[in-house]
């Protein structure tokens, strides 16, 4: 069966281990339609640790050849994965919608993002700068000691374990950013599917497996496994063959993986994206200018905020869960617009019954806190997993003194903090945990008031925006999707954009090595036509 011919009814319910369809030795689970809570066929059998070891061993065997692929074959492999996913577009879209409740437009957009980032990494492989080649030439006449010939390149770490995200069944899943960047680095991937969308995972896993076969690569380059999150997830992070972990999910699960990886005889890096409430800061000048433009401009601003909160039922890691609005008439007018926008807003089906239950618990806890008041609430959607979106407000004093107001509520809920001065904003920002994003809504008259906030935010977030919304992450060469803990486990990295590849590489230097023993990227004749730094000067390939 190929990605081109697979239909929903062809799903096997089995893991794919080094190119082979494998029935798990453990219990069985189903995906569920969150709009109806009905089980979806087929059942998926979960593997045990012995079967996991087969996948990781195969990945270790594949590493020797996959890590040394020439650029053209390597890039063609990622392009073939993208092509195979596109060939399965119709059954894939159908299954994603059934397993997640996401609308067709969102699924199609996410599929486009997935294949586009695969092709972007293919272009990175061909261009080659990620290999970081450097050469300091020898000088045997240097006194008092001869200068050695030293060359450097970045090499892949080894097999990578990637965990599927609940909220991005394609773009942060089987062929998503972590997998794409690991494969681009030359690292085989053992992917643990999210049990909430097993059929989606199988369709995409089949597309990758077909590409491995079509390019004649070692089958251990990719495995797709289904297993219990606690036991198999921990075993995967602890397996000696695995050299790094990519994860997107809850703070608790991410920390658990970090602890498992740190407790190994040889610790490994875990790149976990975990928790963020993405503060948005409104300034008076911007609100004054908006109000001066008329009622429609203010209505549009309130609607834009609510749309960012409610998009994909608020289940986006960049959703604005915390918004700072000035006290006084301008802020009051803005919140009236927000309340008006919220009233007709329907609840959207959330990804799973458990996520909806967690959202309800978080909203109930927040609403019961002293000093927290309702700004606006929408209407419940169809089904029990589509709660009404909600916006609350509180004071900076309440925010300062109550840690509950700092907690993420994963879903369509947001908290507005009313502040009195620019000093209040700086103080509040200093008390924030690490975040993925921070957004400034300001006019030119606000620049002086906003300036002291910038260095504080640089220490707290990975991306600073102006006059926009944090939802919607562009995949390009400059993007940073990361931030200080607990937004991510390592603030030096990004999980989106071409720099994501750097997570799975390390430098190696070659000193006075004979030419015949040098790897291709650092040979004198530069057979891969790489840009390189020679004696400190960037030298472009011919």
Contact predicate 309/282, CB 8 Å: no
Assigned token pair, 430: 């200093």
Chain position carrying tokens 């990886």:
261
Contact predicate 126/71, CB 8 Å: yes
Contact predicate 299/291, CB 8 Å: no
Smallest CA-to-CA distance from 135 within 542, 541, 539 is with 539
Q: Which DSSP state fits 37?
A: T
What does DSSP say about strands 244-248 and 160-163: parallel, antiparallel, or unpaired? parallel
Inter-helix orientation angle 104-127/71-87, to 10°: 170
Q: How many other C-beta atoms lie within 10 A of the C-beta of residue 64?
A: 10
Smallest CA-to-CA distance from 176 within 241, 85, 243, 102 is with 85
Q: Active site residue: 273, 474, 502, 525, which one?
A: 273
- Identify the H or E element spanning 479: none
**CA dist., res. 81 & res. 91, Å (int):** 16
Residue 530 CA to its chain's centroid (Å) = 29
Contact predicate 193/224, CB 8 Å: yes
Contact predicate 437/429, CB 8 Å: no
Query: What is the CB-side half-sphere exposure of residue 255 using CA atoms within 13 A?
Result: 7
**CA dist., res. 184 & res. 188, Å (int):** 9
Phi-psi region of 93 (alpha: psi -120 to 50; beta: other; left: phi over 0): alpha
Would residue 187 show up in a list of annotated catalytic residues for this protein? no
Assigned token pair, 306: 């609510």
As to burial, measured by CB atoms within 10 angstroms (0-12 exposed, 13-18 middle, 19+ buried), residue 115 is: buried
**CA dist., res. 382 & res. 467, Å (int):** 33
Contact predicate 137/539, CB 8 Å: no
Would residue 273 show up in a list of annotated catalytic residues for this protein? yes
Q: Active site residue: 317, 364, 433, 515, which one?
A: 317
Phi-psi region of 161 (alpha: psi -120 to 50; beta: other; left: phi over 0): beta
Write the CA distances from 522 to 148, 150, 157, 527, integer angstroms. 15, 10, 18, 9
DSSP per-residue letters across 137-191 = --BTT-SSSPBPPEEEEEEE-S-EEEE--SS-TTTTSTTSHHHHHHHHHT--EEE
Residues with catalytic annotation? 273, 317
């Amino acid at each position: 069966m190929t990605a081109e011919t697979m239909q929903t009814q062809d799903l096997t319910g089995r893991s794919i281990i080094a190119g082979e369809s494998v029935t798990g030795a453990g219990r069985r689970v189903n995906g569920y339609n969150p709009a109806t809570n009905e089980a979806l066929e087929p059942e998926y059998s979960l593997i045990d640790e012995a079967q996991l070891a087969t996948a990781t061993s195969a990945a270790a065997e594949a590493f020797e050849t996959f890590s040394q692929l020439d650029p053209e074959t390597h890039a063609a492999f990622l392009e073939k994965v993208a092509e195979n996913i596109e060939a399965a577009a119709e059954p894939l879209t159908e299954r994603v919608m059934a397993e997640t409740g996401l609308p067709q437009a969102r699924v199609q957009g996410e599929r486009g993002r997935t294949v586009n980032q695969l092709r972007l990494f293919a272009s990175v492989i061909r261009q080659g700068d990620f290999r970081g080649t450097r050469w300091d030439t020898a000088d045997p006449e240097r006194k008092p000691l001869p200068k050695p010939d030293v060359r450097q390149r970045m090499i892949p770490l080894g097999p990578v374990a990637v965990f599927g995200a609940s909220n991005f069944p394609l773009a942060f899943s089987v062929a998503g950013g972590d997998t794409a960047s690991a494969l681009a680095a030359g690292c085989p991937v053992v992917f643990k599917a999210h049990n909430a969308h097993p059929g989606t995972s199988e369709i995409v896993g089949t597309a990758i497996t077909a590409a491995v076969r079509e390019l004649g690569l070692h089958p251990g380059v990719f495995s797709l496994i289904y297993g219990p999150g606690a036991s198999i997830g921990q075993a995967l992070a602890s397996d000696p063959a695995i050299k790094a972990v990519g994860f997107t999910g809850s703070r608790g699960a991410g920390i658990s993986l970090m602890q498992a990886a740190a407790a190994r005889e040889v610790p490994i890096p875990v790149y976990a994206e975990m928790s963020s409430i993405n503060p948005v800061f409104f300034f008076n000048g911007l609100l004054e200018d908006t109000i001066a433009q008329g009622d429609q401009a203010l209505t549009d601003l309130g609607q834009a905020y609510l749309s960012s909160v409610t998009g994909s039922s608020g289940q986006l890691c960049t959703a604005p869960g915390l918004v700072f609005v000035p006290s006084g008439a301008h802020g009051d007018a803005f919140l009236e617009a927000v309340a008006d926008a919220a009233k007709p807003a329907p609840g959207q089906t959330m990804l799973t019954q458990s996520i909806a239950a967690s959202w309800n618990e978080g909203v109930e806890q927040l609403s019961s806190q002293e000093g927290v008041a309702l700004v606006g609430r929408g209407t419940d959607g169809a089904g029990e997993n589509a709660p009404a979106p909600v916006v609350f407000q509180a004071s900076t004093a309440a925010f300062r003194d109550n840690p509950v107001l700092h907690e993420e509520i994963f879903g369509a809920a947001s908290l507005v903090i009313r502040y009195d001065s620019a000093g209040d904003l700086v103080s509040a920002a200093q008390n924030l945990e690490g975040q993925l994003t921070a957004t400034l809504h300001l006019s030119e008259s606000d620049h002086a008031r906003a300036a002291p906030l910038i260095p504080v935010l640089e220490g707290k977030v990975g991306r600073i925006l102006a006059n926009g919304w944090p939802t919607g992450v562009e995949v390009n060469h400059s993007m940073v999707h990361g931030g200080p803990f607990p937004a991510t486990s390592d603030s030096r990295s990004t999980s989106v954009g071409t720099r994501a590849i750097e997570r799975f590489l390390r430098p190696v230097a070659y000193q006075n090595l004979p030419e015949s023993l040098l790897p291709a990227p650092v040979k004198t004749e530069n057979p891969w036509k790489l840009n390189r730094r020679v004696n400190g000067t960037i030298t472009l390939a011919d």
